[in-house]
Amino acid sequence: MTITVQFFALLRDRAGVGETKVSLPDGMTVEQAVDRLTAQFPAIVGAVSRIAFAVNREYADGQTILHDGDELALIPPVSGG
Amino acid sequence: MTITVQFFALLRDRAGVGETKVSLPDGMTVEQAVDRLTAQFPAIVGAVSRIAFAVNREYADGQTILHDGDELALIPPVSGG
Amino acid sequence: MEHSVAYSQFDRIELTAADLDIAAALAFVASPLAGGIDLFVGTTRAEQAGDGRELVALDYEAYVEMAIDRLRRLAADARRQWPIVKLAILHRTGRVPVGEPSVAIAVACGHRAEAFAACRWLIDTLKADVPIWKKEIWADGEGTWVHR
Amino acid sequence: MEHSVAYSQFDRIELTAADLDIAAALAFVASPLAGGIDLFVGTTRAEQAGDGRELVALDYEAYVEMAIDRLRRLAADARRQWPIVKLAILHRTGRVPVGEPSVAIAVACGHRAEAFAACRWLIDTLKADVPIWKKEIWADGEGTWVHR
């Protein structure tokens, strides 16, 4: 399957891209996908105190199963307002 | 001594005037002055649930001694805002 | 005496028979030192009496000189309780039709919690303390003073 | 995608790269059914870093589609908690200089207590929940993301 990954704020700066597509084995969880991403973009490791996830613009936990075409966003601590 | 008396809102309607001057013996308290006023303007009696007083635009209690030239206001329950 | 304004560099207090200029109040409290501004606007709400008559307006009367003085003290009291950068209190006199604002309080502080708390305290205390009265004006022309 | 508006008859939700139109937000929430309107405005506050550098602006970035969706849900959640007549939430993207507004939330309710409570809850929850980020821009041109 292929998913789209979105990086924001400091994670975008560290990754060097705001969006990327990655091919992953079917049935992978968010956590497993993030392990692959940290290998591909090592500069994001430790950049922020914690990362939340969103799948298709919904907050999701690490055990969420990904599907082909999903949009996975890595959400650093928010600071709007 | 002569004092100026101010009536507001329903008390003004009931008194039929917004302002009046009354002559009183020196040394009278607010309470004593109000007794005279209720005799002169009986329609204000019982008009509102309670009346507060202000002397020279400061809230004052019934024991406050009045002086010549004072402005005594009868303040019905406020409802601004 | 239908119009009265008192203001220092940091507080604007206004009793007016004209439409409230809320944009001016917000502009007045704006400051580089403010992180949060809270504005409360009280408006005449449509109501129906038990017998079906509609409310058309509220008529506000003030003991103007004392009301201005009390509002200035409310501002000073609020400044003792919260670190306020700027504040504005505007109140109408005269007739305020349904849907129109009768009071506006804007408070600018460094942080939002203080702005909310000070604004809330100011409107609550204004309603309890300041010599201003409203009369309900009903569609049949009858007026009822509110003295609860 | 720098501009996005979603609104129903009763809620106006806007993420915009343009100056916030706060007067329009207040006009939007005005209603004969409203007795109290609370408006919160968050502005970029002047700050100095430990080394004396001055803050000149905040740069806001949003995950636009998700942020709009979260804001709509916040509005719906607020409506479940308080009897809200109308509400508006506006948030900037892009550069917001010191003294300028980055967020405005206006809530109109029948009574003031509800308007204050809902407005406070909305700004607190927005800050904790909605995927928007700010970067501090200092006088020397350096930018620091805020990820506390």
DSSP letters of chain C? --EEEEE-SSEEEEEESSPP-HHHHHHHH--TT-SEEEEEEEEPPP-B-TTSPBEEEEEEEE-HHHHHHHHHHHHHHHHHHS-EEEEEEEEE-EEEETTSEEEEEEEEESSHHHHHHHHHHHHHHHHHHS-EEEEEEETTS-EEE---
Contact flag D131-A8 (C-beta cutoff 8 Å): yes
Residue D148's pLDDT is what?
87
Residue C5's pLDDT is what?
65
Touching chains, D (3+ CB pairs < 8 A): A, C
Residue B45's pLDDT is what?
96
Contact flag A78-D130 (C-beta cutoff 8 Å): yes
Would the pLDDT of B42 be above 50?
yes
In this complex, the residue of C26, C35, C46 whose CB is nearest that of residue D32 is C46
With contacts defined as CB-CB under 8 Å, which chain D residues touch A6? Answer: 63
Dist. CA C109–CA C36, nearest whole Å: 6
Q: What's the ipTM?
A: 0.94
In this complex, the residue of D61, D126, D129 whose CB is nearest that of residue A9 is D61
CA distances from A14 to A37, A44, C99 (A): 12, 5, 52
Residue C9's pLDDT is what?
65
Which residues of C have a CB under 8 Å from any CB of D?
A: 22-23, 26, 30-46, 98-99, 110, 112, 115-116, 119-120, 123
With contacts defined as CB-CB under 8 Å, which chain D residues touch C34? Answer: 43, 45, 99
Tell me the pLDDT tens digit for each residue of B47-62.
999 999 999 999 999 9
Residue D1's pLDDT is what?
42
With contacts defined as CB-CB under 8 Å, which chain C residues touch D40? Answer: 36-39, 112, 115-116
Residue C8's pLDDT is what?
63
Chains D and A touch (3+ CB pairs under 8 A): yes
Mean pLDDT calculated for residue range A17-22: 98
Chains D and C touch (3+ CB pairs under 8 A): yes
Per-residue pLDDT tens digits of chain D, which is 148 residues long: 455 666 566 899 999 999 999 999 999 999 999 999 999 999 999 999 999 999 999 999 999 999 999 999 999 999 999 999 999 999 999 999 999 999 999 999 999 999 999 999 999 999 999 999 999 999 999 999 999 8
Interchain contact D127–A (C-beta under 8 A) = yes
In this complex, the residue of C31, C37, C116 whose CB is nearest that of residue D116 is C116
In this complex, the residue of D42, D63, D147 whose CB is nearest that of residue A81 is D42
Residue D10's pLDDT is what?
80
Per-residue pLDDT tens digits of chain C, which is 148 residues long: 455 666 566 899 999 999 999 999 999 999 999 999 999 999 999 999 999 999 999 999 999 999 999 999 999 999 999 999 999 999 999 999 999 999 999 999 999 999 999 999 999 999 999 999 999 999 999 999 999 8
**What pTM was computed for the model?**
0.95
